[in-house]
Amino acid sequence: MNLQELKKQLLADKQKLAVMAVLMVLGLLLWGRLMLKSVPRTAVAEPDNKIAQTTPDNPDRPSAPATRLPVVKIRDFGRVDRDLFAFNPNYYPTLAGSESDGSEGKSSVDPTDEQKQTQDRQAEVLSAARDLKLQTTLLGTRNRAMINGELLEEGQTIQGFELREVESRRVTLVKDDITIVLEM
């Protein structure tokens, strides 16, 4: 493409030519402003005490010397030999009465003892639930409930009870696989 064709294309649409000229002038003004103004200094991690601050009304005249910020030293822990994201079951204790892998064989527990333990556990949970008082419920994008003066979201716990569901004027709490419903 030669210069004659380029000139013909530029002059064919006057509106495009005007927009292009305005953009070129604006670009030249911004570039000139950048060149004429002082170039900003680079940031340093530890400022030198000899560098003086400038006052807002006169940027050329320095004011009192800058105060030195405290230096924070970070201890190097060295190389970590284990995978931090790998699951290690040794760090988690097994719960009493949890499912076993079947290698120990069947236990000979009397069913009446299991029922008594379950009833005792339910009585314990019910007595603990009597101390809880539902004061209000807040329904929205994140449902909340105020129990004993504490504002909780679903999934949070209070006195060992997990708040599972918040409804209008009632909540569902779970402790030791026992479900409790508190109402106002």
Kindly report, residue by residue over 22-69, the tens digit of the pLDDT: 999 999 998 888 777 766 666 666 655 554 555 555 555 555 555 677
pLDDT tens string 104-134: 545 555 667 788 888 888 888 888 888 888 9
Judged on CB neighbours under 10 Å (0-12, 13-18, 19+), 152 is: buried
Instruction: Output b/e per residue, 53-79; b: 16+ Cβ within 10 A.
Output: eeeeeeeeeeeeeeeeeeeeeeeeeee
Q: Percent of the chain, pLDDT > 90?
A: 15
Tell me what the mean pLDDT of segment 83-91 comes to. 76
The CATH class of 126-183 is mainly beta
Sequence ranges of the domains in the chain: 1-34, 126-183
- Give which of 150, 148, 149, 179 is closest to 165, Cα–Cα: 179
